[in-house]
Amino acid sequence: MGFEFSDRLKKLPPYLFVEIDKAKRKARSEGRDIIDLGIGDPDEPTPQEVIESLYKAAQDSKNHHYPLDQGSSVFRERIAKWYGDRFGVELDPEKEVLPLLGSKEGISHMPLAFLNPGDVSLIPDPCYPPYKGGTIFAGGTPYLMPLRQENNFLPDLNKIEKSALKKAKIIYINYPNNPTASTCEKGFLEDAAIFAKKHNLMVASDAAYSEVTFDKYRPGSFLKVEGGKDAGVEFHSLSKTCNMTGWRVGFACGNEKIISGLAKVKSNIDSGVFNAIQMAGVTALDISDKHLTRMNRVYQERRDALVDGLGKIGWNIKKPKATFYVWANLPKKYKSSIEFAKVVLDKANIVITPGVGFGENGEGYVRFALTVSRERILEAVERLGKLLG
Ligand SMILES: *Cc1c(COP(=O)(O)O)cnc(C)c1O
């Protein structure tokens, strides 16, 4: 049959993780002992309290119906309270908070609410792929802002071309950052708010990793800086915060107009998050401090095992202050991140993600995810030592 994918589907960059997953499954089917430092999905289970909360809420038949388009008021109020406690930001739970089917959903739907064909989104590169995907689905054009090591992986806002800026409606920022694991100072968030106001841009601040932090580092909220709430929204996820990637629950907070546009798109596409999961989300926020104290210690030990271990074999990397990733320059001998990742899979049975999979400016790097045990990380380091030694 002559079915054709739409032009917008054809325009999507290839989703690299699908390719990596294929290679990984093939290697596993051959019986090889694979250490997967590829995709960023917490290895530990969802906290028991959250599971019990879901179980209880699922028993209640009033949770079996379509959720409200704007989400349950109990969950919205809990999110607003969490924002106040954690970031010192006051939010109106009616108008400034929106539960999402995972933050990826909101991140990729936002352009549908605000971009017309030909409009531009300003997108960091390398980046989490849905910024580009969502923009392309909305008929918009991604304009890439390179994240360079010499600028601490911050976009240089002054280097954005005037012609792109004129057509730009949305700017994505993401700190703590995936894939580079970099963080930003409050000054950058302030600059972004000023820049957005000057150029009439909406800021989409992806804060999925705001709670996965080490060495006492505690990032602030974009909504807390002057003009933040006028300029944008912030996306949060319970996926990384509470080991809940499979549950599909996150939220957007901030600018009322943006929240209402996003809610309108959602009410026409999905019908919101299962009420029982929203109740479990309330519990997740209740217990997140306790859970994170333990989980962040675990990730920090793994980070230290990896970075210290690689340092000993002559591969020197700066320790990240947040996220469960380590972003590393390729060893000198290698130029292509895909080629290097292939060698590492073939020769050392380790999955890592080639930086170029996150965008052209990710070339020259690979990303390690700290989502296996410390023992397995030590084993990976040993194998890499043999490979590179
Ligand atoms: C994992 C991740 C998300 C979102 O995950 P959800 O499961 O959809 O909430 C958002 N942004 C970045 C950068 C991520 O790595």
The C-alpha atoms of residue 36 and residue 24 are separated, in whole angstroms, by 8
The C-alpha atoms of residue 337 and residue 298 are separated, in whole angstroms, by 28
Instruction: Tell me the two tokens of residue 74.
Output: 């109990």
User: Has residue 1 been placed in a domain?
Assistant: no
Query: Does 210 sit in the ligand 1 pocket, CB within 6 Å?
Result: no
Residue of 104, 105, 212, 325 to mutate, ligand 1, most atoms within 8 A of C-beta: 104
- Asked whether the beta carbons of 53 and 282 are under 8 A apart, the reply is yes
Judgement on whether residues 103 and 222 belong to the same structural domain of the protein? yes
Residue 147: CATH number of its domain: 3.40.640.10
Average pLDDT for the chain: 96
Can you give the pTM of this predicted structure?
0.96
User: Has residue 2 been placed in a domain?
Assistant: no
Task: Give residue-wise pLDDT tens across range 117-137.
Answer: 999 999 999 999 999 999 999
Q: Indicate which residue's Cα is closest to atom 14 of ligand 1.
A: 208
Domain range for residue 349? 7-46+289-388
Task: Give residue-wise pLDDT tens across range 1-27.
Answer: 789 999 999 988 777 777 777 888 999
Query: Does 323 sit in the ligand 1 pocket, CB within 6 Å?
Result: no
Q: Please state the atom number of ligand 1 nearest to the C-alpha of residue 107.
A: 10
Q: How many domains does the chain have?
A: 2
Judgement on whether residues 250 and 377 belong to the same structural domain of the protein? no
Query: Does 128 sit in the ligand 1 pocket, CB within 6 Å?
Result: yes
* Beta carbons within 10 angstroms of residue 21's beta carbon: 15
CA 208 to ligand 1 center in whole angstroms? 6
Give, in degrees to the nearest 5, the angle at Cα 329 between 327 and 335.
130
Query: Does 178 sit in the ligand 1 pocket, CB within 6 Å?
Result: yes
- Asked whether the beta carbons of 127 and 359 are under 8 A apart, the reply is yes
Residue 323: CATH number of its domain: 3.90.1150.10
Query: Does 132 sit in the ligand 1 pocket, CB within 6 Å?
Result: no
Report DSSP letters for 268-300, one per residue: HH-----HHHHHHHHHHHHHHHHHHHHHHHHHH
Burial class of residue 9, CB neighbours in 10 A (0-12, 13-18, 19+) = exposed
pLDDT below 70 — which residues of the chain? none
Could you tell me what percent of the chain has a pLDDT over 90? 94
